[in-house]
Structure formats: structure tokens, C-alpha cells
């Protein structure tokens, strides 16, 4: 919690720093209130946009207190706030000083305005591509490349706009501040695009086996080449690159499904869904794989004092939960565990036999919920509902002793989270892993 608060304070400080620093020392003569407000909003918006790079640079220290999905969620939401501040900057000018509308003409406007207008247009394209990627049918990797290119262009053009406008940059050290910001961004890009891939290149893995699972999924096991492998907490995930070098954009996130006790043998269980996941079965033993991780805070190891654990999985959402159950079994876990596992039909229940076997090794109750059960089925049917949860969860007064882990399709996560709130499971005691980052 202390780490979490620390990073929030640093964030607020960095967003407001340009404003505070520009008002220190020799300040240009004051202008109308709305004009000063407009400039202040522009500076704050630019600081926010530039910090977006830090949020997605996969610094483990920043992600650790919140978890990767929360940081990406924040990245998404704060981009809307930053956009609001940035567009309000010219809008205030246009409203209170209509002659500034002429600056929109890119052919006749001065360079500072050309840079500013281009930055805002590119920011609009960036947001539209992100908000409506699926509606526009933009393939993920294409989106990711354009997202990076546009983001760099937006911030670079905005800095050019600030430097050319010169107001509030009337002393060399204030100009130096923005140049330092620029150097920082270039350094960050260098880290993400060059240093990080080089690190991954030096710690390669190779395919050990690819085995079929139920539910159109494959378990890919990789072993380290010339190093010790990767220590992770059960439930965490990593980014995987195959058929490409770590310098490419073609990496995909997958949860570890193996026990955390074996850092030298990592398994990911991957469901065939699209271009990349459909090719997994073609991997050959010995083929090189790069693994960037571990990431995420979706782990029983972060809640060691819980009296019991509840796992709620939908389809391939079982993978991080399987890693936790396998690890707990090997550690000789005694606490009660309950697994709610939702699937379309009995044949597609990934790890079905192993889960049955683990019931013997653990104090584990399993509640299968099937959309299309076989005729002789006497278990739960349909979608996982509040009524099913209520029936199998511990009695109400014990619900504040649970830690609940949920992973599955987005609609299921939303419904289950709401049901848990209704069933009075304390808000901080359930944790969701979302497989859909964008």
C-alpha cells in the first residue's frame, strides 16, 4: 500500500511539475485569466501524455503494487483526462479570442500552431484507434505499432509547439527543462526498444514440448538456455515471443499454468483463438522462445494470511488458477479451497482429469458449471450466477475471511464481480485477471 501511495504521489508531482517550475523565477507578464488557464491546461495535459510512456514501459516496480491490468486501465482512463485538458487549451483560445481560429489553417499558420494542431489531430486518431480498435477491425499488432508511432509523434510535436511558442520558456533553464523531458522520453524509448530486447536476447528459452489439452488448447513448455529460468508467483503472466526476435512487436501475454516451484520449466496453456494462438501447435522442440516476465499481482502469494481461497474460472481463464492450485498442492496446502469452473460443455473442460485428481491432494471443492451439459448431468447448469455462488460459498458471516480470484471472459468477470458485491464479499478481497488488455 505504501508503494502504491508513493507512486501516486510521484505521478501527481510529475503532472504538476511543469506548471510549478514554469511559475518559479522570472515569469512573463500576466495575461487574461482564460488565456493563462488555457496554457496551464495544455502543460498539465502534455505532462500526463508524456507519463503515459512510463506507465506502459513494464517497469516492475511501478506495476507491482497495483497489477498490470490496473496500470493499463489507468493508462486508458487517464489518456481521456489528458485529451480533455489538451483540447480545452485551444478551445478556450477560440472561444475568448476568435481571431486565433486562423491558427487552424495549416497552410498559413506559424510553425508553432502547425505543430500544435498536428499534435491534437494525431492524438484524436490515437484515441479513436484505441477506443474502437475492434469496431474498426484493426488487428492487434498493427494497432500496437501505430499506437507507438502516433504517441511518439504527438508528444514530439507538442514539445515543438511549447518550445516555439516560447511563452513561459523565457529563460534558458526553463527551456532546458523541456529539453530534459525530451531526453528522458528518448531514453525511455531506448530502454524499451533496445535495452530490454537485448536483455531478453541474452536469456532465451527453447520449446520442450507442445501437448494438446481439452478445449482446443495447447500446453507449451519451455526450458531456459544457459540460465536459471524465471522465478514467478503462481497466477502471474509473461509476454512470449516466438518466430521473431525480441525487437519485434509480435509478443503475446500468457499466464503461467505450471507450478511456481519449477522456474526452470515454464508451461503456458494457450487456447486457439486467432492468428498467433492457432500456430502454437506447430512449434518444434528446440525452437527458440523469448519470455519477458513475470508480471501481475493475481496470486495467492500476495494474500498469504487468507483463511480460505475461492477460485472462479471461465474456460481458458483456468490457466493462472491452475498454476496456483498446482503450486498449493505441492506445498501441502491445508486451507479450504473452492473452485467454480464454468465451461460450455463437459468435453472442453481444460485440465478436467487433473483437477479431479487434485481434489484428493487438497481440501478442494470443485463446482463445475456447464452451459450445455450432457443429459445425465446433475451438476450446475447455465452461466455462473449469483445463486450458484451463494449456494456454494461459505456462509455470509465467514465471507470476509476469503480471498477470491476470478479469471474468464469479460462478461463473466463483470457479472461475478457484481454478484460478489451483492453477496457482501469485501471489495478488496476479490481479484480479477483480464485477458483483454485493449
Ligand X SMILES: Cc1cc2nc3c(=O)[nH]c(=O)nc-3n(C[C@H](O)[C@H](O)[C@H](O)COP(=O)(O)OP(=O)(O)OC[C@H]3O[C@@H](n4cnc5c(N)ncnc54)[C@H](O)[C@@H]3O)c2cc1C
3-state secondary structure of 25: coil
First to last CA, the chain: 26
Q: Is 438 one of the binding residues for ligand X (CB under 6 A)?
A: yes
Least distance to ligand X from the beta carbon of 436, Å? Answer: 5
Q: Which residue has the cell 479570442?
A: 97
Cβ distance to ligand X smaller for residue 269 or 342: 269
Distance CA 223, CA 236 (A): 17
- The CA distance from 380 to 365, in Å, is 14
Q: Where in 179-238 is the site for ligand X (CB under 6 A)?
A: 237
- For residues 292 and 380, which CB has a smaller minimum distance to ligand X in the complex? 292
Map residues 139-158 to x or -, x wherever contact with ligand X holds by CB under 6 A.
-x------------------
| Residue 338 contacts ligand X per CB under 6 A | no
CA 74, CA 347: separation in Å to the nearest integer?
Answer: 38
Angle of helix 111-131 relative to helix 140-165, nearest 10 degrees, comes to 160
Q: How far is the CB of 6 from ligand X (least distance, A)?
A: 24
Q: Is 28 left (phi over 0), alpha (psi -120 to 50) or beta?
A: beta
Residue 22 or 260 having the CB closest to ligand X: 260
Write down the least CB distance from residue 427 to ligand X, Å: 21
Cell of 124: 484524436
Of 53, 341, 351, 435, the residue at the interface with ligand X (CB under 6 A) is: 435
**Contact positions with ligand X (CB under 6 A) in 241-300:** 251-255, 268-271, 273-277
Shortest separation between residue 126's beta carbon and ligand X, angstroms: 17
CA 368-426-435 angle, to 5 degrees, is 55
Q: Which one, 220 or 358, has the nearer CB to ligand X?
A: 220
Q: For cell 484505441, what's the residue?
A: 130
Distance of CA 312 to the CA centre of its chain: 20
**How many residues bind to ligand X according to rule CB under 6 A?**
22
**What is the x/- site pattern for ligand X, positions 313-332, by CB under 6 A?**
---x--x-------------
Q: Which residues bind ligand X (CB under 6 A)?
A: 140, 237, 251-255, 268-271, 273-277, 316, 319, 435-438
Amino acid at each position: 500500500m505504501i508503494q502504491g501511495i508513493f507512486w501516486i504521489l510521484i505521478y501527481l508531482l510529475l503532472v504538476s511539475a511543469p506548471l510549478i517550475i514554469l511559475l518559479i523565477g522570472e515569469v512573463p507578464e500576466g495575461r487574461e485569466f482564460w488565456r493563462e488557464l488555457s496554457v496551464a491546461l495544455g502543460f498539465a495535459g502534455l505532462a500526463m501524455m508524456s507519463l503515459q510512456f512510463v506507465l506502459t514501459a513494464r517497469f516492475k516496480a511501478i506495476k507491482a503494487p497495483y497489477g498490470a491490468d490496473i496500470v493499463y486501465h489507468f493508462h486508458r482512463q487517464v489518456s481521456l483526462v489528458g485529451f480533455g485538458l489538451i483540447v480545452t487549451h485551444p478551445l478556450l483560445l477560440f472561444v475568448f479570442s476568435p481571431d486565433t481560429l486562423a491558427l487552424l489553417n495549416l497552410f498559413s499558420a506559424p510553425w508553432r500552431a502547425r505543430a500544435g494542431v498536428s499534435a491534437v489531430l494525431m492524438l484524436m486518431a490515437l484515441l479513436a484507434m484505441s477506443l474502437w480498435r475492434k469496431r474498426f477491425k484493426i488487428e492487434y499488432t498493427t494497432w500496437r505499432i501505430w499506437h507507438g508511432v502516433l504517441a511518439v509523434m504527438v508528444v514530439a510535436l507538442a514539445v515543438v509547439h511549447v518550445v516555439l511558442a516560447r511563452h513561459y520558456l523565457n529563460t534558458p533553464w526553463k527551456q532546458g527543462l523541456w529539453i530534459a523531458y525530451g531526453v528522458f522520453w528518448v531514453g525511455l524509448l531506448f530502454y524499451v526498444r533496445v535495452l530490454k530486447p537485448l536483455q531478453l536476447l541474452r536469456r532465451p528459452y527453447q520449446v520442450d514440448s507442445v501437448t494438446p489439452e481439452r478445449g482446443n488448447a495447447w500446453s507449451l513448455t519451455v526450458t531456459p538456455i544457459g540460465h536459471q529460468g524465471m522465478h514467478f508467483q503462481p497466477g502471474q503472466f509473461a509476454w512470449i515471443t516466438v518466430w521473431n526476435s525480441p525487437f519485434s512487436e509480435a509478443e503475446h501475454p500468457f499466464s503461467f499454468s505450471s507450478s511456481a516451484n519449477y522456474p526452470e520449466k515454464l508451461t503456458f496453456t494457450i487456447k486457439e483463438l486467432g492468428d498467433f494462438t492457432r500456430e502454437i501447435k506447430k512449434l518444434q522442440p528446440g525452437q527458440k522462445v523469448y519470455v519477458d516476465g513475470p508480471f501481475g499481482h493475481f496470486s495467492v502469494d500476495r494474500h498469504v494470511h487468507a483463511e480460505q481461497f475461492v477460485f472462479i474460472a471461465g474456460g481458458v481463464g483456468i490457466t493462472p488458477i491452475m498454476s496456483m492450485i498446482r503450486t498449493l498442492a505441492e506445498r501441502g496446502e491445508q486451507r479450504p479451497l473452492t473452485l467454480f469452473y464454468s465451461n460450455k460443455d463437459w468435453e472442453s473442460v481444460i485440465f478436467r482429469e487433473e483437477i479431479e485428481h487434485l481434489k484428493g491432494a487438497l481440501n478442494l471443492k470443485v463446482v463445475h458449471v456447464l452451459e450445455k451439459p450432457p443429459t445425465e448431468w446433475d451438476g450446475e447448469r447455465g452461466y455462473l450466477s449469483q445463486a450458484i455462488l451463494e449456494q456454494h460459498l461459505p456462509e455470509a458471516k465467514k465471507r470476509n475471511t476469503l480471498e477470491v480470484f476470478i479469471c474468464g471472459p469479460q462478461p463473466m468477470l463483470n457479472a461475478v464481480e457484481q454478484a460478489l458485491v451483492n453477496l457482501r464479499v469485501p471489495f478488496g478481497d476479490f481479484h480479477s485477471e483480464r485477458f483483454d488488455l485493449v
